[in-house]
Structure 1
Amino acid sequence: MYIIILLKRKVLTMLSKKTIEIIKSTVPVLEVHGTKITEVFYKNMFQAHPELLNIFNHTNQKQGRQQTALANTILAAAKYIDKLETIIPVVKQIAHKHRSLAVKPEHYPIVGQFLLSSIKEVLGDAATEEIINAWAEAYGVIADVFIAIEKDMYKEAADQTGGWNDYKNFRVINKVKESDCITSFYLEAEDKSALPSFSPGQYISVRLSIPEEKYLFNRQYSLSAASNKEYFRISVKKEAEENQPNGKVSNYLHNHINIGDVIEATAPAGEFTLKDSIEDSKVVFISGGVGITPFMSMVNTIAENQPNQEIEFIHASRNGNVQAFKEELTTLEKKLTNFHLSFVYDNPTSEDRQNKHFKKQGFIDKDLLQTRLTQKNAHYYVCGPVPFLRSILFTLKELGIDDSNIHYEFFGPSVNLENENGTITK
């Protein structure tokens, strides 16, 4: 509610009707040129301010996901400049990421400068002085909103019991191989201080200095254990190629970070959390690959606090060798009185086929979900790779599940999820 009031107050008091009209008139242009603008923006900004590469995810830059995500956000801001409360979920998600990555108020003028110059560079004469001035006004208002929201988030993170600001040193106290490609790291505060409580489903940012690399690397990893005062657990998938952008950090963690080593991390953040209202309805977890990690925090939390809660847990993976937490999930059956566990493998081994939780070979499809999901008013949590998300979300829609009951998370910058049946965005 606070964010909605803040957005409305800023827009209504600081943007003229004329400015709002000009911003909305740029929507067709942004639909065509938005990604090109953000590509030029990042290129020019990093050339002038390479120190910002210590904050931004290099992989998302090289893969183009960050550019696309920013273009989508700018387009949404233009469409709803007079109704910014419409994009509250996006605002909150971005603000959490900014706080987790230690984005500060002094960074916003830099972003604004290069965003406006990139609009002018890409659009040329079409970017009239009137349009640039309107976007300068709008950016100033939106930046002020983010700065205010993030200021509160920084304060909340620091003021909570065991909390802190920015990055803090953590020592690896245990390293556990969960599968052929996923390893868990147990992190204790180097100063032995108690850790703050967090909401199941939240993540932390981990920052590494990798030898022979000029800039720092940061990644955001879901916390995969229930909240406790002693340690954080993150579970990291090792990407196939160490020399590829998306494998550099995960391979370094797997191959070079061991018990006793120290890494930096920020306080827990994120909006993809277990809802308080789950007590009144069934909870369904549907995960693909490493998307299982936030659900391990959620299901362990339920086991500790609401062991009679009805839970449907459906996980898809290539096979049992690469699936993490099989034993831990089986152990939870002893704690949870109404826990239904299903594994779906694309390429199951003979051992997988003997597992009592193995339901089918292939993918999680409509037939399986119709069989397993009998309550439309249940809360559905979905996490996994983008193609997996796209498939599951549209299938749930086809099955008549209301949007308000579907909760999902991207790993990395958000993208549009589209197919011939419609569009779901986040």
Structure 2
Amino acid sequence: NGWVKVNQNWYYVTPSGRISQDKWEKVNGSWYYFDKNGVMLSKTTVGAYLLGSSGAMAENSWVKIDQNWYYANEYGKYSQDKWEKIKGTWYAFEQNGVMLSNKWKGSYYLKSSGAMAEKEWIFDKAYNSWFYLKANGTYAAREWIGAYYLKSGGYMAKNEWIYDDYYKARYYLDDSGHYVSGTYKIDGKEHLFQKYGQWISEVSTEGGFVKGQYSKTIFLDPGHGGRDSGAFYYNVAEKDLNIQIYRKLRAKLEELGYKVLTSRDSDIDVDFKTERSRMVNKTNSDIFISIHFNATGSSYSKASGIQTYSYSDEPDYPSKINQYWHNHPDRMSESKRLAAAIHSSLLAETGAKDAGLLESSFAVLRETAKPAVLLELGYMDNFTESQQIRDSHYQDKLVAGIVKGIQKYYAGK
């Protein structure tokens, strides 16, 4: 008994002297299959079982047949119409047992090796698009992966605008798919974007402002943001109060027909020294309003009330980017008029203490080329006032006061 090779085919002779035909035979611990002519089969399937190149039934191993890969489990059965985790990697198999590769299976992508893509980018020529496969293997959709945005269906956005509901902002993705920032030309027009891609406005070609000429465009600056929380007292951060007032104020102004631009619409970092002013200076906005809340820095403060600031030129703090406009008489006078209008209206609407109509050389007031004011809408370290300024009803009064002040300014009062 033993193996016999005839014309490139292998046969097995049993102890009785007969060749094995049309049956399975276990030889030296391995299973083999012989057809009706007694020829040992190899690199094929028999029923649910997979035979390797040696003819032995495959166990926990891969077999390549006619450029296709198959996998057999410990019992020799090949995987069919299922997912299989092999040595820590997921693979998918068709009904006929062929391993999938270079194609999608639902929300998952099988690479050229057959391995499921995880935490990586892939380019699909069929769709001419990049996709990102997350840690669980599904494609990212309607979300950011770093500086790139994946749309519905997983396609990477490029050369197009998108609106992000979470950040409530527009973005433009360039040809590489990366969001743009700073100034960027789109269809022949310059646009201004924040550092992290949020669109601000189309860039004005005029610069500065002309006294008495209005576009009814208002630039709102919710102070602080991102890593800069501003003051923090009684479990609330100033940056969050600022954005709450900004959102209420923006909604009211837009309801009245004003166009509103902003330095931030979400919790992001924006440099206070010049970045906010650079943003507004490139727009056609009429006025700039920086929204803040106050604090003395001491425990159990009794300080209270509203302060409104306009610019005061201080030689010790020269302008960095606004040398022409920072102390221009028209800008100075219009800033003071805007501050007075808003301050008086705020006090009338809220009944708050008058903590001062003041002047300062704050960077956002110094470097902005438009009439500019900075509002301190209440003291966060005064417990009683802290509870008041976080109350939505009181915030509505603050907003009403700011709006009425803006309306008085535009009316020339």
Please classify the TM superposition score into its range, dividing by the shorter chain length.
under 0.3
The TM-score with structure 1 as length reference comes to 0.22
- Higher RCO, 1 vs 2 (CA within 8 Å, ≥6 residues apart): 1
Larger radius of gyration: 2
Relative to its length, the structure with more helix (as a share) is 1
Relative to its length, the structure with more strand (as a share) is 2
